[in-house]
Structure 1
Amino acid sequence: MKILKFGGKSLSFTGAFDHVISIIKNRAQKESIAVVVSAFGDTTDVLEKILEQAAKQENFTLLFETFKKQPQHKGIDLTHEFDFLQKIFEGVHLLGDYSLKIKDSVLAQGELISGKIVTKKLQEQAINAVFTDSRSLIITDNTFGNAQPIASVSRQKTIAHFSSLDKGTTAVVTGFIGATLHNETTTLGRNGSNYSAALLANYLEAEELQNYTHVDGIFTANPDWVSDAQKIERLHFNEANELANFGASILHAKTIVPLIEKNIPLRILNTFKPEENGTLISSEPTLSGIKSLSVLADVALINFEGRGLLGKAGVDARIFTALSEKNISVSVISQGSSERGLGFIVEKGRATEAVLALEKEFETDFYTRDVNHISIDDEVAVISIIGQDLSTFHKPYNALIQNKIIPILFNNTVTGRNVSIVVKKEATKKALNVIHGQIFGVSKKINLAIFGHGSVGGTLIDQILQNTENIETKKQLKLVVFAIANSRNLLLNEKGIGQEWENELSDNGKPYELQDVIRFAKEHHLENLIAIDNTSSAVFIHNYFPLIENGFDLISSNKAANTNTFDFYRQLRKSLKKNQRRYLYETTVGAGLPLIDTTRLLHLSGENITRIKGVFSGTLSYLFNHFSTEDKSFSTVLKEAIEKGFTEPDPREDLSGNDVGRKLLILARELELENEWEEVQIENLIPQAFQSIETSDFLRNLDVLDAHYAAVKETLQPHEVLRYIGELSGDLQKSKGILETKLAVVSADSALGQLKGSDSLFEIYTESYGDHPITIQGAGAGAKVTARGVFGDVLRLSEKQ
């Protein structure tokens, strides 16, 4: 015989009820089965609510009449059950109170009604079904609300009942309820229907217990919370028992025990997908390793501090004895060593009772101030990692810290194969996703907020979206662009913004403040956050601080942050260090070339960098590479650079030399120099009269530059060319260096003179390398190159998160 158990969600008339009847019918025609049913849908909650209304002496009639008219009740004779409930509710309304015994009698009607309905529907399908009231089978003690079965009596009655049934009869048994030896109705507490089914399987020595639910089986985590959760095909009883102990919603520890006693497999199945295998729990060994993450949410943390009790024996015994006397179970426990501090988890509903019991036990110790205080924190949750070996626990733990989730309390089992952490309830979903991504080898999700979508930003967004699948396949990184913003509007999507982002932003973008992005990330529990600044705004950089404080790492192609005042630069670094955030900005100097990284590594290694010199601007490189060697006017070459997208919208940003000056200052600060922007000596290539006019006017009059630069070009000797260079020099071991940008004449045979196209070239002189500099050369301009460099920073940061 097999036992089939159906939960309340499966029996919901608006849900899978027809599937339930079909499953039972098909199975009954092929093999011997018994069926255990829960109350329909939310029936138990509704009955409890009506009871509460009656106890408060409120009008309960309206809700009760609505309950009686539920669709599932039509065509079924439930006169006895409804009359019984009416009398109970009227009595409670009159007295203004009720006992646990009365509550059990009321809640039991849900299962009784459900059993009658299922039986009638099966009979209509020509199935020989018989309604079985489990109060005649499961005999319990009189602990109302959480009764314990009397095994010997219950087994005898169950075997006798099923032996009396004709062959081919399908018994429909009510779950959750039993009765005392005096025929008083009891309920079996949390997960009572599953427990009833397990007891029935035990007493009848069933071949298998099949629990039909609304999910496909047991998952590595709650699939409603973790989209990447994977179904577990097989579990050992011990693993399932651990899952049950640590809050797996489908399982309960007391459900597993009766099955272990008789080695009866348990299969978790989806009512909507009865043909699938679900998850099988048995005594068969499974592969070692982490099996699942479970969450206990309805809990509270009790903090006990007694500095005066340090070194005194028997304190722990007093604590747990006081709780045991109140039948209060304790799960996760952690004890401090520097003072007498103890933290432990109890059911949330019993936290106050636990504190009162401890206050009574330690009343004298409070008076002598040996106990300082006992407090409750009920905004916590427990995440348990079933199968976690402590030797690899650093990975999920570090990932939590990286995401600004600090465990309040930590505990592991004696075997070292199960770890539990207590976190703030508001961080539970995010923590679950972070740990799951680390443990189960699924793609790590990286959530990106991109600010600025001009030539570089827009190209970057397209590059990311076009390469998402490839990156996930090769690097197991799932890049999700959840926010795109310009200076006016913001587009948000927690599942990721798609290829039509420009149209979506135009049509659906909304005015915003930075807090809208931060709030959205928190509300949707987004992990591994990276904010990317592709603006050129000196105002936006002040947003870096709230982003850092709210768990975002930073990537920037914006030079403003690292060239602001040295005080701002220092405060930004302090905030990054305090919040353990990282900040990458390789493209702020040299586009996609690894200049900042190389400079930083040399400096950190103790190498004495004596000078850095080079062509820092791809725009100016293109301009003077072509102007020096071709028979073209300066304005003609400049227009070509503008058309190729090598310049800023206002070319004076490049021609002013400020861009090169900013890059020099960024490198100086990488060497821990304290130079300010005002100390950079810059040669501006724009005549004074044209430095302040409107951009449109400047672009219409580019030819006014031709005479001056033609004269400069005429001074060149054979084998000489013009280059706009930046140079960092002086005693770089002191607090400040010399930063200078200028238009220089160089030999055409030199490294700088041989530059082509828009390439940049940097020479890093060091004490060790002497007159032979480290040379870095490559494309130094263009949206694609810069965006690709930012993309590289994204991948570097993502792999280390």
Structure 2
Amino acid sequence: MKILKFGGKSLANGEGLHNVVQTIAQKYFNNESLAVVVSARGNTTDELVILLKKAQANIAYKSDFESFKAYQLEGVSENIFENEFEVLEKLFEGVALLGDYSEKIKDQVIAYGELLSAKYITYVLNHNNIKANFVDARQLIKTDARFGNAQPIDLVSKRNVKAYFEKNVDAVNVVTGFIGATLHNETTTLGRNGSNYTASLLANYLNASEFQNYTHVDGIFTANPDLVVDAKKIERLSFNEANELANFGAQILHAKTIIPLVEKNIPLRILNTFNASNTGTLITAEQANNGIKSLSVLTNVSLINLEGRGLLGKTGIDARIFRVMVDNDISVSIISQGSSERGIGIVVNSDKATKALVGLEKEFENDFYTKDVNKISVNDNIAVISIIGQDLSNFHKPYTALIRNKITPILLNNTITGRNISLVIAKEEFKRALNVIHGEIFGVSKKINIAVFGHGTVGGTLIDQIVASADKIEKRKGIKLNVFAIANSQRVVLNKFGINENWRDTLADKGISYTIEDVIAYAKEHHLENLIAIDNTASGQFVENYIALAESSFDLISSNKVANTIGFDFYKKLRKVLAANQKEYLYETNVGAGLPLIDTIKLLHLSGENITKIKGVFSGTLSYLFNNFSASEKKFSEVLQEAIDKGFTEPDPREDLSGNDVGRKLLILARELDLQNEFEEVKIKNLIPEHLREGNVAAFLSRLEEFDSGYAEIKNKQTPNHVLRYIGELSGDLQQDKGVLEVKLVSVPANSALGSLQGSDSIFEIYTESYSEQPIVIQGAGAGAKVTARGVFGDILRLSEKKL
């Protein structure tokens, strides 16, 4: 025989009810032996409780009761519940008259949810030529008198069930779940998810071949799919693993359900009423492969902390605590103890927290007077995440992922087997924590959530590169790049599922005004993990947001040089905040576009290598300008105009020609060597004749020929076989607080590394003690939106891989 249990959502009017009848019919006409256990249909139990409370408060409830009756009778041509409705009406009238009700009365009222359900299903089955019997479990399952959470009297209940089913073998017996009765025939209920318990008891008593639990989901998942979008179905579980899931809040299971099945080694299969083709999750005695199975969550819990220096080394403290819990019928799900300063934390259901606190304060009243106990407090703002199957040897991975996302567990607890770990988390963080842990443990791909600020030439190219490459990167690297925010200085578009190739139209049509706090709040509201903020602006104002972003769990990537070149105080403050929040800040493209310059200098400096000098052509624009001017007979203005026409310069070329950009890049490298120079200390050779430095852009562009005589003279005065190069140079005693920073126009041999430079390439020479007079040379494309965007993309991947 198979025991089929159907949940409330499965039995709701409509598709679910139709599928239930079809499922039973298919098995019946295939001559399968089965019994059916039913929960109350739809929201019946909740509605009965509401009616009961309204009656208690003397609030009009009769119209609601009529609606309730209409729902129960939907699809039935006659009133098959006349007696049941009459009893319910009398119960409500009695409660309204008294203005109160007991747990005993409540059990009598809510029991009618299952009674009506079983009677309805029996009626429908018989009308579909399926012989069915209505079975009131109160006649079979006998319990103690703990109303609301009664415990079956096993011997009596087993005898009753066996006797009934031996006499009724030729029909589908439809049994009310959740309810029982005392030996005096007083109605009781079996507690949360009690219908599952009823079904597992029947399976045990009848030696069923399988217990099939039909729900509204495809089985048990690696996490609650409502909380974790990427949750995956688990094909098989052992009873021990299922029991752990049940103990730690898995909604689809009840801890008591497992025990009767284990006793008789009866398989339990979780199936979906709404998806007949799905095979569900099978739970058996057979131990599945080792490994993490699922994450479960408890949210209706509180943490009680008992602290006291004077308790250190005293015996019997734990016994006193648990005596209070036993006396008040309070179950403790987690206990954690400290050693250096005596502290004990226990997790209990929130509805029992006040009772526990009062009981503990009374028990330890004298200890307060002797100062042995300092404080007993309750924290209701917690949730518990349990990792079922987590081995302590690999726990550092999810734990590190939490810390990386700025989520610090309040306390940890593991079972004696070392394969189940529970974390107490602040309640406002538990959804994000759940997604972080799930992504770390089960994710085929690590999701990286990116906010891009600035979508001009570089920013727009970067976004296009990410969209075009995302699928390949996910397959090759296991990294899922999800751009959830794109913003300019005024508007932002937000989508937790990611932006597609039409992002420009989306931003134009649906972009909204914003502050940086709005983006941070959006990420927090949607529990986005592994956050990266990318600054592709040139804004000095935007860098002020870096600290708020770092403090809100964002790593930073920037092609904007401002944060690294403004005051040294801000430079130090930002790095202090980054360190305190364990966040990264990557800015490889600040100097050399996509060239691996900053990383190389960082690595050399970190390894203790004494860098003695850095010099090079820092600007791709000015590289193009002087490479071509030196190698041709063209006038300086002609080459400059070519650079402007090719888009190599800024809209106002004076921003390049002033040398300030090169100066900022040089300062960035100086600060990588822990030098404390300020921008004002950089000696910069301005390439613009003084009389052309003011005025509007149009006027300047019309006077480019005024460069020619001066630069022709400089070119002609060179030593033969020399060429002009505009370089940045860092020198001096670089072991001191400050170095010598110069940006200057120099003449170098044409056959030297600097002199042989071509096109718009950049080149950097790094001199160190170890390498003596042979510098490390890094050369390559130093300008262009694609190159810079690709460099930022490289920083994204570099940072993403650190999160694996």
Tell me what 1:247 maps to. Answer: 249
In structure 2, the partner of 1:750 is 752
Out of 565, 585, 601, the residue aligned to residue 603 of structure 2 is 601
Aligned pairs (5 A) from 1:6-155: 6-30=6-30, 31-70=32-71, 72-73=73-74, 75=76, 76-155=79-158
1:277-322 CA-to-partner distances (Å, cap 9, x unmatched) read: 1110011231111111111111111111122222211011000011
- Establish whether residue 294 from structure 1 lines up as the match of residue 293 from structure 2: no
* Partners of 1:307 and 1:372 within 8 A in 2: yes
Residue 525 of structure 2 corresponds to 523
How far the C-alpha of 1:29 sits from its partner, in A, is 1.1
CA–CA separation in structure 2 for the residues paired with 1:62 and 1:377? 41
Q: In the alignment, is the contact (CA less than 8 A) between 1:482 and 1:493 conserved in 2?
A: yes
1:74, distance to aligned residue in structure 2 (A):
5.1
Indicate conservation of the 8 Å contact 2:321/2:360, yes or no.
yes
- Written as runs of structure 1 = structure 2, the 5 A alignment for 1:160-239 is 160-167=163-170, 169-239=171-241
Counterpart contact for 2:230–2:443, Cα < 8 Å:
no
Q: Which amino acid counterpart does residue 114 of structure 2 have in structure 1?
A: E
Could you state the TM-score of these two structures normalised by the residue count of structure 2?
Answer: 0.98
- Contact 1:762 1:776 (8 Å CA) reproduced: yes
Q: Which residue of 1 aligns with 2:321?
A: 319
Check whether the contact 1:73–1:117 (CA below 8 A) recurs between aligned residues. Answer: no
Map 1:436-451 onto structure 2 (within 5 A): 436-451=438-453
Paired with 1:737 and 1:531, the residues of 2 have a C-alpha distance of 32
| TM-score between the two structures when normalised by the length of structure 1 | 0.98
One-letter code aligned to 2:682: V
CA–CA separation in structure 1 for the residues paired with 2:268 and 2:651: 68
Say whether the 8 Å CA contact 2:13–2:74 is kept in structure 1: no
Instruction: Render the CA deviation track for 1:587-627: whole Å, top value 9, x for unaligned.
Output: 00011111111111111111111110100111111111111
Letter in 2 for 1:188: L
Q: Take 1:636 and 1:452, find their aligned partners in 2: how far apart are those partners? A: 33
Q: Which deviates further from its counterpart, 705-714 or 125-134?
A: 705-714
SS in 1 for 2:747: strand
Of the candidates 734, 743, 760, which is equivalent to residue 736 of structure 2? 734
SS of 2:425's equivalent in the other structure is strand
Match of 2:509 among 486, 507, 510: 507
Query: For the Cα contact (< 8 Å) 1:13–1:72, is it kept in 2?
Result: no
Equivalent in 679, 685, 688 of residue 687 of structure 2: 685
Q: Is contact 1:228-1:442 (8 Å) kept? A: no
CA shift digits 1:428-457 (9 cap, x unpaired): 111111111111252111000000011111
Residues of 1 paired with 2:169 and 2:414: CA distance? 52
Give runs of aligned pairs for residues 362-441 of structure 1, distance below 5 A: 362-441=364-443
> Which letter maps to 1:63?
D
1:223-265 Cα shifts (integer Å, max 9, x gaps): 1221221111111111111111111111111000000011100
Partner of 2:716: 714
1:547 paired to 2:549: yes
Native 8 Å contact 2:72 2:116 kept in 1:
no
Distance 1:414 1:540, change over 3 A: same
Q: Unaligned 5+ residue runs, structure 2?
A: none
- Residues 645 and 148 of structure 1: CA distance in aligned 2, closer, same or farther (over 3 Å): same
In structure 1, give the amino acid aligned to 2:553: G
- The amino acid of 2:317's aligned partner reads V
C-alpha distance in 1, partners of 2:80/2:220?
37
Cα distance in 2 between the residues matched to 1:177 and 1:558: 67
Q: Structure 1, residues 380-403: CA drift from partner, whole Å, max 9, x if none? A: 111011111101101100110000
The residue number in structure 2 matching 1:464 is 466
CA distance in 1, matches of 2:664, 2:691: 23
| Alignment-derived partner of residue 702 in structure 1 | 704
Deviates more, 1:780-789 or 1:117-126: 117-126
Partner-residue secondary structure (3-state), 1:332: strand
TM-aligned CA deviation for residue 71 of structure 1: 6.1
User: Aligned partners of 1:642, 1:24: CA distance in 2, in Å?
Assistant: 79
Where structure 1 has 5 or more consecutive residues not aligned to the other structure, the ranges are none
What do residues 68-110 of structure 1 show as CA deviations (whole Å, max 9, x unaligned)?
Answer: 2226545242111111111111111111111110000000001
Report the equivalent of 1:339: 341
Give, as a single letter, the amino acid of the residue that structure 2 aligns with 1:150.
Answer: I
Number of residue-to-residue matches in the alignment: 800
Q: Quickly say closer, same or farther: Cα 1:429–1:130, change in 2 above 3 A.
A: same
Amino acid at match of 1:49: I
Is the CA contact 1:610–1:732 (under 8 Å) kept in the aligned structure 2?
yes
Q: What is the Cα deviation at residue 184 of structure 1?
A: 0.6
Answer yes or no: is the 8 Å Cα contact 1:9–1:15 preserved in 2.
Answer: no
Task: Tell me the CA shift for residue 123 of structure 1.
Answer: 1.6
Distance 1:699 1:69, change over 3 A: farther
Q: CA deviation at 1:723?
A: 0.7
Whether the aligned pair in 2 keeps the contact of 1:657 and 1:685 (CA below 8 Å) is yes
Post-superposition shift, 1:352? Answer: 0.6
Deviation at 1:67, TM superposition (A): 1.5
Give the C-alpha shift of residue 11 in structure 1: 1.2
Query: 2:137 corresponds to which letter in structure 1?
Result: S
Amino acid aligned to 1:536? A
Contact kept, 8 Å, 1:615 with 1:725, in 2: the verdict is: yes
Contact 2:561 2:665 in 1 (8 A): yes
Alpha-carbon offset, residue 638 of structure 1: 2.3
Secondary structure of the residue aligned to 2:166 is: helix
Aligned counterpart, 1:304: 306
Q: In structure 2, what is the Cα distance between the partners aligned to 1:164 and 1:196?
A: 20
User: Any residues of structure 2 matched to 1:552-631 within 5 Å, and which?
Assistant: 552-631=554-633
SS at 2:723 equivalent: strand
Residue type at the aligned position of 2:464: D
1:452 corresponds, among 454, 470, 490, to 454
> Would you say the 8 A contact 1:388–1:419 is kept in 2?
yes
Residue 13 of structure 1 and its aligned partner are, at CA, apart by 1.3
Task: Determine if contact 1:333/1:344 at 8 Å carries over to the other structure.
Answer: yes
The CA distance in 2 between the partners of 1:71 and 1:171, in whole Å, is: 20
Match of 1:4 in 2: 4
Cα distance in 1 for partners of 2:631, 2:157 equals: 102
- Report which stretch shifted further, 711-720 or 119-128: 711-720
Say whether 1:158 aligns with 2:130: no
Relative to 1, partners in 2 of residues 1:72 and 1:523: Cα closer, same or farther, differing over 3 Å? farther
Amino acid at match of 2:672: E
| Alignment RMSD (CA, Å) | 1.3
Superposed counterparts of 1:468-483, under 5 Å:
468-483=470-485
Q: Does the CA contact (< 8 Å) of 2:336 and 2:344 recur in 1?
A: yes
**CA distance in 2: counterparts of 1:791 and 1:195, whole angstroms:** 55
- Partner of 2:306: helix, strand, or coil? strand
Q: Report if aligned partners of 1:760, 1:780 keep a CA contact under 8 Å in 2.
A: yes
Deviation, 1:695, is 2.5
